[in-house]
A and B are shown apart, each in its own frame.
Chain A
């Protein structure tokens, strides 16, 4: 989890996000302003993300995953520990704007993050804020709208788009700022199954084609398939971490963190308990079918 020493050669192994003992507390006050309670939203979290990786943070509502996300974008500041975003100290408030430039953020509610009334103007909003010259704004808008497949909708009003399309516009809006990494805070929670697929496909493509680091925050385990690394959070702490396969193999533990294990993984787990020799952490249908085919062949 430490920064590799021999990284500077090709930047591949650089940690774009490096959280060490990161904590965030906030004070709950009653109507008279007296302190009622101090809530620890995140508690001594160590998370690091390598450049170009696709990582997921899983957890149920209130597990602290969104609070963590807001730190990456300097929307919240740590109350303890350190956080480096693209090698900038998040504790230093003079870095705020630069941190926001290097880490873009997509939120849950598609309606409440689109500022303009025309798709292309919304995508241009970020670049305008950071002072990009006019001609370049247009280039960036086109590039980012094409990268999420929304270029044909550039003149549309966001109100007429589906939830999935709105989220793709929001992603384009972040991409137009050309960030090093993008943080998506439950981008699919308010979408229907089609919209969810659409958005997940779009971010995987960005990660592969544009080499953008992706941090996906979600409570849908299916969406984690295909990540390079997964963190599971519960009551403000990182309780599990590893590659998706390792995580998915611990079905009972996942259930105890109130997570929804995909049906295929559950079937595989049940079969394993019944003595069938399926591999650990099966993620997809194809995998399970292959495994079962193999098992039948050896037995007959």
Chain B
């Protein structure tokens, strides 16, 4: 079940999106997230989704790969959607049965919220799928360098993030393995109430943490052995350089943001 997560995985391909400067992509993602929350109408959301669709096409990452990432959070989406659907008060009651009431506002906010979440997840995974963690790190490091003035350890934070991203697939695979092993010892993760289920996670979580700490320890040693010594005096294998395509992308991003604000004001 965890194998389907795509967030944090890199999909190697040769596309314009892959070649973009990570700073451009990070900025684009930020604007994208902001616009998702600016727009609060279903048609506006569909426009954003269409824009996202176009970006995915350019990225050359198979669409099915993106959708797979959603599968892991379907339950979460459904719960959130249902809460919105039934618990939002509104003027017009569309449906009423026992304690369940659906209002027009509820329907709208549930639809909006679901699309918003899906678009948000896919949108951010487009960035991680087309950007290697290392260049993502570089992007964050350069983009946020001004923060070092305030003594924020930007290099360290970005290095930690990129390593976390690299180990997500490994830890997911490991979770899968541990789950199977405990199932082979008769563990049951499906039945029982919430408390029972939470308790049944202990045999998965403890070994997972133990292994994560061991890996962290090994990795730290391996990094030290390769002369890692923090950000000072480091050079870059792939230094960031803006190209023409980045300028075009920035223009696109601002046009997109402008459209969203216009849609918000006009619709």
**Residue positions of A touching B, CB distance < 8 A:** 70, 73, 75, 97, 100-101, 104-105, 107, 109, 111-118, 120-121, 124-134, 137-138, 141, 155-157, 159, 173-174, 177
B51-59, B185-193, B195-203, B225-233: which lies at the interface = B225-233
Query: Which of A109, A111, A115, A133 has the most C-beta atoms of chain B within 10 angstroms of its own C-beta?
Result: A115
Query: Which residues of A sit under 8 angstroms from B237, Cβ to Cβ?
Result: 120-121, 124, 127-128, 134, 137-138, 141
Bound together, the chains give a CA A3 to CA B50 distance in angstroms of: 73
Bound together, the chains give a CA A118 to CA B165 distance in angstroms of: 12
Query: Does any Cβ of A come within 8 Å of B219's Cβ?
Result: yes
Query: Quick one: given A75-B224, A115-B223, A177-B226, are A131 and B10 in contact (CB under 8 Å)?
Result: no
Bound together, the chains give a CA A298 to CA B94 distance in angstroms of: 104
Bound together, the chains give a CA A138 to CA B214 distance in angstroms of: 32
Contact across chains for B215 and A112 when beta carbons are under 8 A apart: yes
Query: Does any Cβ of A come within 8 Å of B64's Cβ?
Result: no
Scan residues 130-148 of chain B and give those whose CB is less than 8 A from a CB of chain A. 132-134
How many chain B residues sit at the interface, stated as a range, is 20 to 34
**Residue positions of B touching A, CB distance < 8 A:** 10, 12, 132-134, 162-163, 165-166, 169-170, 214-215, 218-219, 221-229, 233-239
Query: Which of B215, B222, B227 has the most C-beta atoms of chain A within 10 angstroms of its own C-beta?
Result: B227
Query: Which residues of B sit under 8 angstroms from A107, Cβ to Cβ?
Result: 218, 221-222, 225
Contact across chains for A137 and B235 when beta carbons are under 8 A apart: yes
Contact across chains for B224 and A131 when beta carbons are under 8 A apart: no
Which of B12, B219, B228 touches A118 (beta carbons < 8 Å)?
B12
Query: Which residues of A sit under 8 angstroms from B134, Cβ to Cβ?
Result: 116-118, 121
B137 to chain A, nearest CB (A): 9
B108 to chain A, nearest CB (A): 41
Query: Which of B219, B226, B227, B229 has the most C-beta atoms of chain A within 10 angstroms of its own C-beta?
Result: B226
Bound together, the chains give a CA A92 to CA B249 distance in angstroms of: 52
Contact across chains for B222 and A113 when beta carbons are under 8 A apart: yes
Residue of B nearest to A98 (CB): B227
Query: Which residues of B sit under 8 angstroms from A104, Cβ to Cβ?
Result: 225-226
Query: Quick one: given A128-B235, A129-B234, are A112 and B219 in contact (CB under 8 Å)?
Result: yes
Contact across chains for A130 and B132 when beta carbons are under 8 A apart: no
